[in-house]
A and B are shown apart, each in its own frame.
Chain A
Amino acid sequence: MIIRTAKHLGYPVKRVHAIFFMLTCLLSASFSVAQIEDFTYVTDQMLSNPPKGEWLSWRGTPAAWGFSPLDQINNENVDQLQLKWSFALDNTGAIQAAPLIHDGVMFIPSARGVIQALDAVTGDLHWEYRPAPPTEEFINSGAGNRAAVLPADAFAGVGRGVQKNIALYGEMIYASTETASIRAIDARSGLLVWETQVADPTLGYFYTAGPIIANGTLITGINGCDRYKDDVCFITGHDPETGEEKWRTSTVARPEDPGGDTWGDLPLRFRAGSDAWIAGSYDPHANLIYWGTAQAKPWARVVRGTDGDALYTNSTLALNPDNGEMLWYFQHIPGETLDMDEVFENILIDIDGRKSLFKMGKLGILWQLDRQTGEFIKATDIGYQNIVNLDPITGQITYRDGMIPRIGEELSMCPSTSGVKSWRAMAYSPKTSAMYIPITLNCELATFGPTERELGGGGAGPVRRINFHHPQSDGNLGEILALEIPSGEVKWRYRSRAPFNTAALTTAGGLVFAGDWNRTMSALDADNGELLWQVRLATSNQGFPISYSVNGKQYIAMPVGTGGASWSGSLPRELAPELSRPRSGSSIYVFALPD
């Protein structure tokens, strides 16, 4: 059994945490049915150019297209898809899984740190890694405060415990945890190799996004930066062999740093937010990683006490993965004030001679940046927001009259704080030169309130909210929007009563796959949006669908589950009350054509 003592390098950890980590190592369980014998070492080159049938990064490749080059399943035969296998995942927390595929094995992150290795053809279990439940001592120490650590048998649907993605490199699986540590797990056996504490969970830090690998460095972005503390949010780079922290880059400009004055005269402890809660992308040719940051906290300018730009919130950052140096940044919404997050996936596309980066935030503006320089190229407002005006030449954002909230005054905003777009990643298809975007349609009457400006206070800030249907929605909450790239022209829209609740997956077979809150998984024609195939699954489709092949046969995998952001349940309940879903049923479903 390979277990090295968990060690922390480079960050002060309270003794109780050290005890916890040792206990975690000792108590965590790896249930192994069959060790994986035929496992090929995963290299940087493989990550950059994965074998056609493999899915080695959370969005397929470091460019994050969410595209599979497989075409065995196509728009001529997709209606023949059959269930090949399914596997129940833990119901102990939220599921938003992004599975990986290597050497015929599916590695899937489940709730609360559980990772399983499954035979990708049969669904048979190779091994299961299961972290120990927290000890009473740990919980009573206060470390569970805000980190909200729960026993492993807690009920389904809790808002924490999400691990969206994991990384695969060498012979290891890398995961980040809800208690702000990162883990290396032997990909063959499922045994814990090392665990390193990155931040102090008693300050509220935790992870929901998993790591990526870039030029041999393991990189993660922290979450839980909303409370006031004498620290600010960050991204870290680690040695994958040991977990040793190589660098740490703040995602908030400190008072003494360049850009520090964009927070006015607020001291460090009142500079909150800029969480890096979605995994980044990587361009191996430029040797740059691209990472999004979230909005400043508290959400409303008047509550956080500055109307400054608040760098580097709501930005795309280009970092050198070797040392964390920031090469450029582009702030999408300076001084954001209505919880319109821009943290989401960065899609790297070379188009019309431009090495570009595309992304979309909650406002539903599709940004195109030069990923070498950070220069603004183009922005397309898809027309569902009433909050800002966008200068299409410069990309500059200005708030519309009345859309900068004041405490206690109601305003009517589209979208609601759910966003037009959220973590449900869009996918690009080079076959159609189009982007396929899971959209949520709704609006909100919002009244922002104050928070305590003291250590431990802050947070997002209270909001009285009343959700209502978007005036352009015809009562629908969900849409898959296809935009032509780079023109930004609408190719087609496909709407559904329920919100789409997964990332999109595109394939070389001319297909787009996505799933909704109402248990329905759909396959659409990428060219015209025609519905070609549907199936109802156990509960809400939730997570990141993928495609892969083993022995020449193509498969489509869809995760389903519950939990996560509270509005994912409250929106349909309020605005589509005739819909319902089971509270349990988290699973992975795998489909293929008949043998």
Chain B
Amino acid sequence: MTRYQLAVLLFSGLCLQSISTAQTMTIWAGVYSSEQAARGEIIYNTACIACHGKDLGGNSNSPGLAGMGFMFLWEGRTLGTFFEKIQENMPTDRPGKLPAQDYVDVVSYIMQANAFPNGDNELPKDLDALNDIAITARP
């Protein structure tokens, strides 16, 4: 095996490892902190609660954000997709007008409401990083 072939092999291996890592990062890995979810709850109670309800159950005009309804709507997609959706469309009267940190804090609160485990680190507001976190059924 030449050095070139070896380098290609090693690089390919790193890439595969990277992809594999990205694919295995899920909402079940403790990707937000409880402090962040607490901040998100305050924002939710100001900007989201009137339509989606205090229990995040939604109503005829607003989808539920917890339980079976949430998983039906979002399983198989990434937190980045979810983040983008609410950032582009919510709150309905002023879509996109909250700071990005507020949106990601609300995402963490919704994760907490769905009993996805928390961890030591906060959920980042970086879209690429959020796109690396898959919404999957409980392993």
Q: List A residues at the B interface (Cβ < 8 Å).
A: 93, 144-146, 148, 150, 154-161, 224, 226-227, 297, 339, 408, 449-452, 456-457, 459-464, 562-567, 569-570, 573, 583
Residues in B with CB closer than 8 Å to A154 are: 46, 50
The answer to whether B94 has its CB under 8 Å from any CB of chain A is yes
Residues in B with CB closer than 8 Å to A156 are: 93
Per the bound structure, the CA–CA distance linking A343 and B87 in Å amounts to 33
Residues in B with CB closer than 8 Å to A569 are: 92-93, 95
Residues in A with CB closer than 8 Å to B55 are: 145-146, 456
Contact A460 B58 (CB under 8 A): yes
Contact A449 B57 (CB under 8 A): no
Residue interface mask B39-55, A partner, CB < 8 A = 1: 00000001101110111
B37-85 contacts to A, CB under 8 A, are: 46-47, 49-51, 53-55, 57-64, 67-70, 72-73
* A462 in contact with B69 given A155-B91, A566-B62, A583-B94 (CB within 8 Å): yes
* Nearest chain B CB to A60 CB, angstrom units: 28
The answer to whether B89 has its CB under 8 Å from any CB of chain A is yes
Q: CB-nearest residue of chain A relative to B89?
A: A570
* Nearest chain A CB to B84 CB, angstrom units: 14
Residues in A with CB closer than 8 Å to B51 are: 148, 158-160, 566
Nearest 8 pairs of A and B residues by beta carbon: A157-B93, A449-B72, A158-B50, A159-B51, A462-B69, A145-B54, A583-B93, A569-B92
* Nearest chain B CB to A158 CB, angstrom units: 3
Contact B50 A161 (CB under 8 A): yes
Q: CB-nearest residue of chain A relative to B62?
A: A566
Contact A459 B89 (CB under 8 A): no
Contact B46 A155 (CB under 8 A): yes
Per the bound structure, the CA–CA distance linking A573 and B55 in Å amounts to 27
* Nearest chain B CB to A258 CB, angstrom units: 27
In addition to A93-B50, A451-B69, 15 A-B residue pairs with Cβ atoms within 8 Å of each other are A148-B53, A158-B50, A159-B59, A297-B60, A449-B73, A450-B68, A450-B69, A460-B59, A464-B72, A563-B93, A564-B61, A566-B92, A569-B92, A570-B92, A583-B93
Residues in B with CB closer than 8 Å to A451 are: 64, 67-69
Contact A462 B68 (CB under 8 A): yes
Contact B69 A159 (CB under 8 A): no
Per the bound structure, the CA–CA distance linking A150 and B59 in Å amounts to 16
Contact A462 B72 (CB under 8 A): yes
Contact B73 A462 (CB under 8 A): yes
Per the bound structure, the CA–CA distance linking A297 and B51 in Å amounts to 18
* Nearest chain B CB to A256 CB, angstrom units: 28
Contact B61 A566 (CB under 8 A): yes
Per the bound structure, the CA–CA distance linking A463 and B50 in Å amounts to 20
- A-B pairs under 8 A by CB, number: 104
Residues in A with CB closer than 8 Å to B60 are: 226, 297, 339, 459-460
Contact B93 A145 (CB under 8 A): no
* A158 in contact with B93 given A148-B53, A462-B64, A462-B72 (CB within 8 Å): yes
Per the bound structure, the CA–CA distance linking A339 and B89 in Å amounts to 22
Q: CB-nearest residue of chain A relative to B67?
A: A452
Q: Which of A227, A339, A461, A566 has the most CB of B within 10 A?
A: A566
Residues in B with CB closer than 8 Å to A150 are: 49-50
A to B CB contacts below 8 Å, 15 in the list: A144-B54, A146-B53, A148-B51, A155-B47, A224-B59, A226-B59, A227-B57, A408-B72, A451-B64, A459-B60, A460-B58, A464-B72, A563-B92, A565-B61, A566-B61
Q: Which of B61, B70, B73 has the most CB of A within 10 A?
A: B61
Q: CB-nearest residue of chain B relative to A448?
A: B72
Residues in B with CB closer than 8 Å to A146 are: 53-55, 57, 59
Residues in B with CB closer than 8 Å to A563 are: 92-93
Residues in B with CB closer than 8 Å to A144 are: 54
* Nearest chain A CB to B86 CB, angstrom units: 12
Per the bound structure, the CA–CA distance linking A144 and B50 in Å amounts to 10
Per the bound structure, the CA–CA distance linking A460 and B57 in Å amounts to 10
Per the bound structure, the CA–CA distance linking A456 and B95 in Å amounts to 30
Per the bound structure, the CA–CA distance linking A462 and B72 in Å amounts to 7
Residues in A with CB closer than 8 Å to B70 are: 462
Q: Which single member of A157, A449, A463 contacts B68 (CB below 8 Å)?
A: A449
Per the bound structure, the CA–CA distance linking A460 and B58 in Å amounts to 9
Per the bound structure, the CA–CA distance linking A396 and B60 in Å amounts to 26
Per the bound structure, the CA–CA distance linking A146 and B66 in Å amounts to 13
Per the bound structure, the CA–CA distance linking A450 and B69 in Å amounts to 7
* Nearest chain B CB to A114 CB, angstrom units: 16
Residues in A with CB closer than 8 Å to B94 are: 155, 157, 583
Q: CB-nearest residue of chain A relative to B70?
A: A462
Residue interface mask B88-105, A partner, CB < 8 A = 1: 010111110000000000
Residues in A with CB closer than 8 Å to B63 are: 462-463
* A567 in contact with B61 given A161-B50, A573-B89 (CB within 8 Å): yes
Q: Which of A297, A339, A564, A570 has the most CB of B within 10 A?
A: A570
Q: Which single member of B59, B72, B92 contacts A459 (CB below 8 Å)?
A: B59
Per the bound structure, the CA–CA distance linking A158 and B51 in Å amounts to 7
* Nearest chain B CB to A207 CB, angstrom units: 14
* Nearest chain B CB to A134 CB, angstrom units: 12
* Nearest chain B CB to A209 CB, angstrom units: 14
Contact B92 A157 (CB under 8 A): yes
* Nearest chain B CB to A574 CB, angstrom units: 9
Residues in A with CB closer than 8 Å to B54 are: 144-146, 148
Per the bound structure, the CA–CA distance linking A570 and B58 in Å amounts to 16
Residues in A with CB closer than 8 Å to B50 are: 93, 148, 150, 154, 158-161
Residues in B with CB closer than 8 Å to A227 are: 57
Per the bound structure, the CA–CA distance linking A154 and B49 in Å amounts to 11
* Nearest chain A CB to B44 CB, angstrom units: 11
* Nearest chain B CB to A96 CB, angstrom units: 13
Q: CB-nearest residue of chain B relative to A299?
A: B60
* Nearest chain A CB to B76 CB, angstrom units: 11
* Nearest chain A CB to B37 CB, angstrom units: 18
